[in-house]
Structure 1
Amino acid sequence: MQRCEAGLMKNVQFFVPVAAARADLDTVLRTASGLRLLAPFDPMLVDFVVAFAKSILLDRTSREYPELVVLGNFFRTARIERLKRALMMEEGAACFGRGLVFHIAPSNVDSVFLYSSLLSVLCGNINIVRISRNAGPQLRFVLDKLERALAQAGLGERFYVLTYEHDDAITTRISAQCHMRVVWGGDATVSKIRSLPLRPTATELCFPDRFSAAMLRADAINALDTAALDLLCGDFYNDAIWFAQQACSSPRLVAWIGDEQACTTARLRFWQSFAQVLKHKDFENSSGMAMDRFVTACLVATEPTHRDTTALGFPTRILMNSAPLAAAKHHHRGNGLFYEQCFGDVPAFLSTLSDQEQTLSVFGYEGPEMAQWLGDLPMRSVDRITKVGHALDFNEIWDGTRLLQAFTRRISIEL
């Protein structure tokens, strides 16, 4: 990596492709803007994405990063073929990529930008991705695979990964050239980026702070034998602890559904089983994370919704009453802390949700049961309902948006 020396852009560093490290940002933008788009799901694009995913799955190092194994499996050939069929179903219009897409990746979940940017690649777009300067070993592993796959496919000028310190001038410069901007980040980041101008014909897709929950049916928990409960707690661990609850879909609240006695029994059994699962896991629990849980617990203890706090270990559990938790959700920073609430029925819980909620992972209820209650949800609340153990699974429909449609445009033909 070399620093670009052209004026304002001197602080930009290119990770991918390697050749871009010798160019300045303006040259890269001119080159990218001048390319002709490939058709959505062009064989060259499909082969590149499949090869990249396969390179992750075949490398033993990926076992250290289970979320990357999930990514590799998502972009298998059969899945990509299903995505292609879904995009091409619309008739009477020609389908094209939007053009140059600028992705601003989050700093807390290294791999999430790959899903949206690879879907954008498959749609035929040219992509520029800004990542955090603090690239950890997982991200370096990914970038090495990405560089190799791009070089082998001859697509190096269609996918750039760069970094720079927070600099509105650089972000504005790239935004002025792009046809679409995709922003992953906290509410403050999203608001800041949104204030920076885009070209008039460009569109924007934002993924701000979200809050996710698990909804567990107490009677169903109490009906499980020890082995089945351990499996469920293992699935819950994968949802919550893989990213230290930093992913937008990681559950931070556990809502118990049932009468008081059933919920009390289920809570006791569930958390005892979860403690046993933790004994066999290698998870991060730094002093900073412990301090974060302690500070949050102190803040939440002053809230009128607070009922009780368990010992401040891992995990820390805070029992709240059944009122909406807007203020308490604002305090939550993840890191092994769970709010708990108890409700007599599902509608009572759903009525407390807001547009901040993204994923609801469920145990004890089936799809048709859940569907009957969705019409009573508060406006814009909840974008995903999934089984416990699948909260982190990515889908081409994310935050209520069909990403394949978002990354493409249609030219209507009315002849």
Structure 2
Amino acid sequence: MKLQFFLPARSEAESLEVLLQEAAARTVMTPFDPVLVRFVADFAKSILLDPAARAYPELIVLANFFKSGNIGKLQQELSGAPTAVFQGRGLVFHMAPSNVDSVFLYSSLLSLLCGNINLIRISRGAGPQIRFIIDKLARTLETAGLSERFFVFTYEHDDAITSLISSYCHLRVVWGGDATVNKIRALPLRPTASELCFPDRFSAAMLDAAAVCALAPEALAQLSTQFYNDTIWFSQQACSSPRLVAWIGSAEQGAAARERFWAAFAAQLAHKEYENSAGMVMDRFVAACMVATTPQHRATPALDFPTRILLENTPLSALKHYHCGNGLFYEQEFADVPAFFRTLSDREQTLSVFGYDGAQLAPHLAALPMRALDRITRIGHALDFSHVWDGGNLLQSFTRQIDIRL
């Protein structure tokens, strides 16, 4: 069983089972121990102070999330009844996705802050962003003396290795598509262990057409920039990146808003550097052809960037699996918010909104089908991370509560 270790540096020939036994013999640290807080804050600072990090804007977002001030807020969140004591769960096995390089850092650093020992498998195809991250982690981990609490490695897909690690861990965290989640779920865990799974999700943006039509040119440009940040980073591969744009209003308002909005978006693209490889163009072409075989579409567009497909106002269940990201947008028009909400399903995660506030949307939430939507946020904040993710509190998931009644 060969693993390639990134952190800490180890021989590939070293026994995995010995490593797991040694890790399991250690004790958890107190959640938000000053040593843990200092390490995570120093890691975030090392990114923010490095000019090279500007090439990875998503890492700047991550580093701001883990600044010392926000860590303090997270610590305040982890509180309970006077009879409760919180401790880490123990060994946490994280399986990172291959499509969003840095997402494993959110869950693994939160888990570390909660006192756990972390085992993190990343994709073998890791790019320069991962090398940048590993270098920062290696330096700060060694200084903090936490190298034996944060292991980063890779290996070929191997059920035997995954099963061995799973037999030792107390929590397994799986980021990946439905096929990955189903495959890993079939591998047993120790009886006292828990599992967190983050499967395929579908996210959308909802805009008040009249509000878009009323925007001054400067405000419209700002909105299009915010939408660009939500969608083009990660090439729409992040689970919270909008893939559907829902326009709320009359048919005339929707048509006018779409024309105005996408013209402003095109103007933004003229000043941006973004990926639009031949493979991405082909992916959009295939998706557009598949949608063209269904009755829901109105027209198959030219494969410009972005590629937009206007759909009839019917549930998306038959079309979601065709969506490839990479600059493809489904569009729909609805007379009002409830009409849109009723078309959603338990696959929808994040709704990015323009033209509505929380008080306006709250009465309409009753129209949502069971389990639909986990996040509602403003356009420009779809990729913001929170300790509450996919409807669950990660701080609570990474700890256990010892109830003391003496």
Between the aligned partners of 1:325 and 1:95, the Cα distance in structure 2 is 42
State the match for 2:203 in structure 1.
212
Q: 284, 291, 302: which is aligned to 2:293?
A: 302
State the match for 1:3 in structure 2.
none
SS where residue 200 of structure 1 aligns? coil
State the match for 1:134 in structure 2.
125
Aligned residue type for 1:196:
L
Render the CA deviation track for 1:337-360: whole Å, top value 9, x for unaligned: 000000000000000000000000
Aligned residue type for 1:302:
T
SS where residue 373 of structure 1 aligns? helix
State the match for 2:275 in structure 1.
284
Structure 1 unmatched runs, 5+: 1-8
Q: 68, 83, 88: which is aligned to 1:92?
A: 83
State the match for 1:50 in structure 2.
41
Q: 19, 24, 41: which is aligned to 2:15?
A: 24
State the match for 1:349 in structure 2.
340
Pairs within 5 Å for 1:356-395: 356-395=347-386
1:411 aligns with 2:402: yes
Q: 226, 242, 245: which is aligned to 1:251?
A: 242
Between the aligned partners of 2:287 and 2:13, the Cα distance in structure 1 is 46
Structure 2 unmatched runs, 5+: none
Aligned residue type for 1:136:
G
Between the aligned partners of 1:398 and 1:240, the Cα distance in structure 2 is 19
Aligned residue type for 2:60:
V
SS where residue 160 of structure 1 aligns? strand
Alignment root-mean-square deviation, CA = 0.9
1:81 aligns with 2:72: yes
Aligned residue type for 1:245:
Q
C-alpha deviation, 1:92, in angstroms: 1.0
Tell me, yes or no, if the aligned pair for 1:384 and 1:399 is still in contact at 8 Å.
yes
SS where residue 333 of structure 2 aligns? strand
Between the aligned partners of 2:182 and 2:82, the Cα distance in structure 1 is 37
C-alpha deviation, 1:414, in angstroms: 1.5
C-alpha deviation, 1:21, in angstroms: 5.3
Between the aligned partners of 1:166 and 1:19, the Cα distance in structure 2 is 20
State the match for 2:30 in structure 1.
39
C-alpha deviation, 1:91, in angstroms: 2.5
State the match for 2:98 in structure 1.
107
C-alpha deviation, 1:89, in angstroms: 3.9
SS where residue 319 of structure 2 aligns? helix
Q: 114, 118, 125: which is aligned to 2:109?
A: 118
TM-score (norm 1): 0.97
SS where residue 234 of structure 2 aligns? coil
Pairs within 5 Å for 1:185-200: 185-200=176-191
C-alpha deviation, 1:23, in angstroms: 3.1
Render the CA deviation track for 1:274-327: whole Å, top value 9, x for unaligned: 000000000000000000000000000111111123221100000000000111
Between the aligned partners of 1:94 and 1:22, the Cα distance in structure 2 is 40
C-alpha deviation, 1:373, in angstroms: 1.2
Aligned residue type for 1:222:
C
Pairs within 5 Å for 1:305-320: 305-320=296-311
Go from structure 1 to structure 2 and tell me whether the alpha carbon gap of 1:366 and 1:67 turns closer, same or farther (over 3 Å shift). same
Taking every aligned residue pair, what percent have the same amino acid on both sides? 65
State the match for 1:269 in structure 2.
260
Aligned residue type for 1:172:
S
Between the aligned partners of 1:72 and 1:24, the Cα distance in structure 2 is 34
State the match for 2:216 in structure 1.
225
SS where residue 273 of structure 2 aligns? coil
Render the CA deviation track for 1:120-158: whole Å, top value 9, x for unaligned: 000000000000001100011001111111100000000
Between the aligned partners of 2:12 and 2:377, the Cα distance in structure 1 is 42
Render the CA deviation track for 1:239-287: whole Å, top value 9, x for unaligned: 0000100000000000000000000000000001100000000000000
Between the aligned partners of 2:81 and 2:350, the Cα distance in structure 1 is 28
SS where residue 118 of structure 2 aligns? strand
Q: How many residues align?
A: 406
Render the CA deviation track for 1:167-213: whole Å, top value 9, x for unaligned: 00000000000000000000000000000000000000000000000
TM-score (norm 2): 0.99
SS where residue 165 of structure 1 aligns? coil
Tell me, yes or no, if the aligned pair for 1:221 and 1:270 is still in contact at 8 Å.
yes
